[in-house]
Amino acid sequence: MILPGATLGVLGGGQLGRMFTLAAKVMGYRVVVLDPDPQSPAGQLADIHLKADYRDAVALIRMGGLCEAVTTEFENVPAASLETLAKHCRVAPSAAALAVAQDRLEEKSHARASGCATAPYASIESAADLDAAWAAIGAPALLKTRRLGYDGKGQARVDTAAGLAAAFKELKEVPCLLEGFLPLEREVSVVLARNARDEIAFFPLAENQHRHGILDISIVPARIPEPLAERARDMAAHLARELGYEGVMAVEFFVLKDGSIVFNEMAPRPHNSGHYTLDATACDQFQQQVRALCGLPLGDPRLLTPAVMVNLLGDVWRPEPKWGELLRHPGVQLHLYGKAEARPGRKMGHYNCLAATVEEALGLALETRAELGIGVD
């Protein structure tokens, strides 16, 4: 076990790194952040901020010498950087697990091999694959880049073969997946932690609603039957074990109108849909990330109160939101990420609405969203 007083590292200086840093420092650890942005949210709070590229060999060797263990805050860290660090200190999750999550084809293939149903899909490596992919999937469909897509980026809806060709060209003809549409009822996510002793702890499922391809609100507990929630937990746990995954991860599922459940995607890190845990569970997802990284027993993930998380994007900084209006509600807990510049679509913070029932929490979330002008285009 790596105990308080040791130094931990995180690759990535965004809001997830910031919340990991806060959790680690509260628990008594020192933190090193590697991120090229001199104003990174996590770097602002770290004991040491290494302002360097994620591939910088000198910075990586220094980080490996300073830290007893290193984790990541986003999945697009070069896997080779984790391999370099692993020569000097403990790294979790592993480079191999991260590499799977970085490629949608690898991700879907691993999910199917782990017993998860997925939407129908076809791989497109070049323009020569378009006709076969269209014949296999048909309309309507989503064209997604295999790498680097998130929050609705790197994807396009297509309804005709000609539209597929145009969308592939628009996406610079990089390798893609063409995915068929499914009759969705809702989306849910499982956030879990797994440590080196194969202990797994599940946070309560979140029910997620998106706007313009970006998570808008998460409702907890998810409003689905318990047998379906148990099925989602089993599938997520099996996927984590098959990957040899250590750390916190999120797995998103689609609940279909016929009551079945299919894998959508995984995130090898704490997740936006798990931010409710900062106020609503006995141990939050960032404390759990520290525990899993350090080989400690996992914390208690039980839900203490129903909650609804509301994302705060830069769109509502017109000018800065009226925080007084929001904080007059005693059930609201505000979390801002320390980002200097607000831009449309940029995640600037979130807040959690806590109440005695999930219906009351959702009502408070919808009321406060309207007061802040969220959803007003």
pLDDT of residue 151: 57
**Per-residue CA distances from 47 to 34, 41, 43, 83 (Å):** 11, 13, 8, 24
Please tell me the pTM assigned to this model: 0.94
Q: Give the mean pLDDT of 92-107.
A: 92
> How sure is the predictor about 149, in pLDDT bands with cuts at 50, 70 and 90?
low
Q: Give the mean pLDDT of 76-102.
A: 93
Q: Give the mean pLDDT of 15-21.
A: 98
pLDDT of residue 320: 86
Instruction: Set out the domains of the chain in order of their start, with CATH numbers.
Output: 7-91 (3.40.50.20), 120-180 (3.30.1490.20), 184-372 (3.30.470.20)
pLDDT at 219 over 80: yes
Alpha helices for the chain (secondary structure H):
15-26, 57-66, 79-86, 95-101, 104-113, 130-137, 161-170, 226-243, 277-280, 285-294, 323-327, 358-372
pLDDT tens for 304-344 read 999 999 999 999 998 889 899 999 999 999 999 999 899 99
pLDDT at 76 over 90: no
> How sure is the predictor about 85, in pLDDT bands with cuts at 50, 70 and 90?
very high
